[in-house]
């Protein structure tokens, strides 16, 4: 009976692989199920692990076909296009050797990804197992945005960090500025102690230049709860985070 191995990459939609900067990466789980049984695939970040290399060059067999788009600030201009490439230190899940079925079979790969809300994002992907193929490189695209709380609201403003699911940050004029603030819409629904609710649009905080979006809110000390929600225009990614005082 022939055997095989699975190489599994988890790539944020429009971003990098889920590695050192991903939220709670130690608790990312990958499992595989087929007629021969079910097993876990180790997905572990170590000191030397990276989350891929971004460049304008596409390398067949090494680069992900999912590009990284960076819109320009000028209307009508096409975004810059870059590609994510794996090297020997790039994070991935590698299965133990397992026995292939005697005939083609559709197996299931399942991924569980922690989020700041406390709920896991669960993704499943079909994988064709073929007796003649012993090497399987699988890229699972992880949609969504990672919204993380900053600090409790001050007396004058609310704020939230908005990142790609890989943990990559929104910034400008840095070597790592592949995710432009202009590509994101961030809003908040704020409920005050008196029961009233107001909507606020958040703007990128250029001072910190560190993936933070803020909005001025009068009487922020009277806030009871906030529902932050964000969308990335170029990919359709979206995410949310709720805060209760």
Q: Which pTM value belongs to this model? A: 0.93
When pLDDT is averaged across residues 124-135 and rounded to a whole number, the result is 96
pLDDT tens-digit series, residues 183-203: 999 999 999 999 999 999 999
Of the residues 102, 121, 142, the one at which a domain ends: 142
Residues 164, 126 share a domain: no
Final residue in a domain of this structure, among 142, 160, 188: 142
Point out the domain boundary residue: 125, 142, 159: 142
* Residue 45 pLDDT greater than 80, yes or no: yes
The whole-angstrom separation of Cα 245 and Cα 243 is: 7
Question: Count of CB atoms within 10 A of residue 3's CB?
Answer: 10
Same domain as 114, residue 50 = yes
Would you say residue 151 has pLDDT above 80?
no
* Full domain range(s) for residue 214: 145-244
DSSP reduced 3-state for 182:
helix
**Looking at the structure, do residues 28 and 124 belong to the same domain, yes or no?**
yes
Strands 238-244 and 212-216: unpaired
Confidence of residue 221 (pLDDT cuts 50, 70, 90): confident
Residues 187 and 132 in one domain: no
Residue 156 is predicted with a pLDDT of 86
104 and 154 part of one domain: no
Instruction: Please check whether residues 12 and 128 belong to one and the same domain.
Output: yes
Q: What is the pLDDT of residues 56-78, one digit of tens each?
A: 999 988 899 889 999 877 777 88
- Whether residue 193 sits in one domain with residue 137: no
Q: What is the reported pLDDT for 160?
A: 96
CATH at residue 229: 2.60.40
d(CA 23, CA 190): 25
Across 162-170, average pLDDT: 98
Number of structural domains the chain divides into: 2
Encode 6-40: b = buried (16+ Cβ within 10 Å), e = exposed. Answer: bebbbbbbbbbbbbbbbbebeebbbbbebeeeeee
Average pLDDT over residues 34-48: 95
Q: What is the pLDDT of residue 173?
A: 94
Top-confidence residue, 244 or 166: 166
Residues 176 and 210 placed together within one structural domain of the fold: yes
DSSP letter at 95 equals P
Do 8 and 66 share a domain, yes or no?
Answer: yes
Judgement on whether residues 187 and 89 belong to the same structural domain of the protein: no
136 and 164 housed in the same domain = no
* pLDDT level of residue 218 (50, 70, 90 thresholds): confident
What is the length of the chain? Answer: 245
């Amino acid at each position: 009976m022939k055997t095989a191995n699975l190489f599994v990459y988890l790539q944020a939609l429009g971003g990098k692989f889920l590695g050192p900067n991903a939220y709670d990466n130690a608790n990312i789980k990958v499992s595989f199920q087929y007629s021969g049984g079910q097993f876990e695939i180790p997905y572990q970040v170590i000191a030397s692990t990276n989350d891929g290399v971004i460049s304008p060059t596409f390398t067949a067999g090494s680069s992900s076909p999912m590009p990284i788009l960076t819109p320009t600030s000028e209307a009508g201009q096409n975004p810059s296009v870059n590609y994510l490439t794996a090297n020997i230190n790039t994070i991935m899940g590698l299965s133990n050797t397992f026995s292939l079925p005697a005939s083609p079979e559709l197996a299931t790969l399942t991924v569980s990804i922690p989020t700041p809300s406390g709920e896991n994002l669960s993704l499943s992907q079909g994988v064709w197992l073929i007796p003649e193929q012993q090497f399987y490189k699988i890229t699972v695209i992880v949609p969504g945005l990672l919204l993380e709380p900053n600090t409790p609201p001050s007396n004058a403003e609310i704020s939230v960090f908005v990142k790609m699911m890989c943990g990559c940050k929104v910034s400008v004029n840095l070597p790592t500025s592949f995710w432009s603030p202009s590509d994101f819409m961030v809003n908040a629904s704020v409920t005050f102690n008196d029961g009233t609710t107001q909507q606020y649009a958040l703007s990128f905080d250029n001072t910190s230049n560190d993936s933070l979006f803020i909005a001025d809110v009068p009487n922020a000390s009277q806030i009871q709860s906030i529902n932050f929600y964000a969308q990335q225009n170029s990919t359709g990614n979206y995410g949310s985070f709720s805060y209760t005082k």
